[in-house]
A and B are shown apart, each in its own frame.
Chain A
Amino acid sequence: MLTLTNITKSYPGKKNAVENVSLSIPRGEIVGLFGENGAGKTTLMKCILGLHRYQGEITLDGQPLDRRNIEKLSFATSEHTFFPALTARDHREFYADHFPAFRGKRFDALMEFFELPTNKKIGSFSTGQKNQFEVILALCQGADYILMDEPFAGNDVFNREDFYKVLLGILEPEETILLSTHLLEEVSAFIGRAILLHKGKVVADKSMLDLEEEGKDLMTFVKEAYRYKADRVLQALDKLTETEE
C-alpha cells in the first residue's frame, strides 16, 4: 500500500503546488490521476519518487520511502529518464545491474512487440519510440508501483491503444499503476479508480465501479468535479459577436 499523508509541496514565491494531499493506493490498482495543466500531478509524482522535498509523510507498506525500498517505484515521464547516448541493450544491462527485480524477459518481449531496435542510440529514436521505450523501462524495472506521467504524449492513437492492451495483458496482480494523463476517454476503459487534482488539492477520488453504479462516465464525473460550465464557450462567443456588431 502506498500511503500519502498531508503532502504539501510549495515552490519559493508561489502558492502551494500540492496542498494537503492524502491518498492510499493499494497494490494491484490502476489509478488515473487527472487534472488541468498545473494541477499538481507531476509535482505529486515527483514528491512520491523523492525527487522533490515536501511536507507530510509518504510510506510504502508502512515503511517510509527511502533507499531501501525506492526500487519498488518506477517512473515513466514524457520528459524521459533514459540515457539518450546509450542503446536499448545498454539500458537493459544498466537496469539489470541496478534493479535486482529487473524483468529481462518482459523487456525483450516488449522490445520485440514494439519493434524497437536494440543497437541504436535511444536519442535517435522518434518521439513515439522514445515514449515507448520510456514506458518499457518503467514496466520492466521490477517495481510494484509504476508511476507514469503523460507517457504517451506524442504517440499516435493506434500506438496508444496497443500500449493499453499490452499493459492490461502483462500486468501482474501485485503491480500498481498511477497514470497521469489528459486522455480521459482512452484510459477510462482500463483504470479502476480516478483521482482528480485541482490547484494542488484532491477534489475527487472515485472508483470506476462506483461511477458505473451511478451511471456516469469518466468525462461526466470529471466535468462535474471541476464544475465545468458547458455553456461557457457559447456565452463567450455571444459576447465576442456582440462586441463586433
Chain B
Amino acid sequence: MKKKLRDLVPPWPDPSAHLSLCIVGLVLCVLVSFGRFQALLNHAVATLYAGHIGESPLLEGARMKYFAYLICGNDPAYSWYGLPVFAHFTLLFLGAAILAVVNYSNFRNGSKSFYLMRRLPDRWEYHRRCLALPLLTILAGLVLIPIFLGLFYALYLHATPEQCLQPNQWEVFRDSLGCLFLPPIFR
C-alpha cells in the first residue's frame, strides 16, 4: 500500500504528507458544507414558525425556501450566507490544480530531475506522479458532492413540514445548477 502510494506522488521525502493534505482538504470541505447547510436549513425552517421550531404553530401559508436556493445560497434573505454550500469544493479543486503545477515545478527546482523522470522506462511515471493525487482529489470531490447533495435533500425533506413544501423542486434545482459552486459575484 505504502509503495503504491509512493508511486502516485513525486519522490519527495514524505509521500504521505501529500495524501494527508488532500484528505484534510476533502474532510474540511465536507464539514464546512455540512455545517453551512445545517445553518441555512435551520434558518429556513425557523421562518416557518411563529416562535420556537416545533413548539409554536406554523405561520399561516408559510412556504419553505426551495432546496436549490438553500444549496446555492442565492436567496436574498441570506445575503451574508452568500456562498453556495459547495463553494469550498471549488477552492479544493483550485488547490488540487495548484498542487499539480507545484509538483511539476518541483522537478525543476534545485536540479533538473525532470530529465530523469522523462527518461524512465515507464512513459507515464512523470505525469502520474504529478497529476495522480490532484486528479484523485478532484474525482473524490466530484463523487462526494452528489452523495452529500442527496443527503442534504433527505435532511431538507425531513426538516420541512409537508404542508410547507413547495412544488417543482426538481425544476428549480435544474435551473439553479449553474449556481452550485460559484458565489453570487461570479454568476
Contact = CB atoms under 8 A, between A and B. Distances in A.
Interface of A: 49-51, 67-68, 70-71, 73, 75, 77, 79-86, 90, 94, 98-99, 121, 123
B43 to A, nearest CB: 48
Majority secondary structure, A binding face: loop
B113 A81 contact: yes
A75 B116 CA distance: 8
Contacts of B170: none
Interface string B11-35: 1110000000000000000000000
Nearest to A84: B110
Interface string B109-131: 11111011011111101000000
B70 to A, nearest CB: 46
A86 B12 contact: yes
B12 A98 contact: no
A83 B113 contact: yes
B13 A82 contact: no
Nearest to A130: B111
Contact of B111 (A49, A70, A84): A84
Contacts of A50: 118-119
Contacts, number: 59
B115 A90 contact: no
Nearest to B107: A83
A83 B11 contact: yes
Given A90-B13, A94-B11, A82 B113 contact: yes
A81 B110 contact: no
A98 B111 contact: no
A77 B115 contact: yes
Given A67-B123, A70-B121, A81 B115 contact: yes
Nearest to B109: A84
A82 B111 contact: yes
B121 A81 contact: no
Contacts of B13: 85-86, 90, 121
Q: B interface, how many residues as a size bin?
A: 10 to 19
Contacts of B111: 79-84
Contacts of A84: 109-111, 113
Contact of A83 (B12, B123, B125): B12
A75 B121 contact: no
Interface in B102-157: 109-113, 115-116, 118-123, 125
A67 B112 contact: no
A206 B13 CA distance: 46
Contacts of A121: 13
A8 B120 CA distance: 24
B119 A49 contact: yes
Contact of B112 (A81, A99, A123): A81
A73 B113 contact: no
30 contacts: A49-B115, A51-B118, A67-B123, A70-B119, A70-B120, A70-B121, A71-B121, A75-B116, A77-B115, A79-B112, A79-B115, A80-B111, A80-B112, A80-B113, A81-B112, A81-B113, A83-B11, A83-B12, A84-B109, A85-B12, A85-B13, A85-B110, A90-B13, A94-B11, A98-B120, A98-B121, A98-B122, A98-B125, A99-B121, A123-B110
A85 B14 CA distance: 10
Given A83-B12, A86-B13, A90-B11, A67 B121 contact: yes
Interface string B32-50: 0000000000000000000
Nearest to B112: A79
Nearest to B116: A81
A226 B115 CA distance: 31
Contacts of B125: 98
Nearest to A50: B119
A81 B118 CA distance: 11
Contact of B115 (A51, A68, A123): A51
Nearest to A122: B111
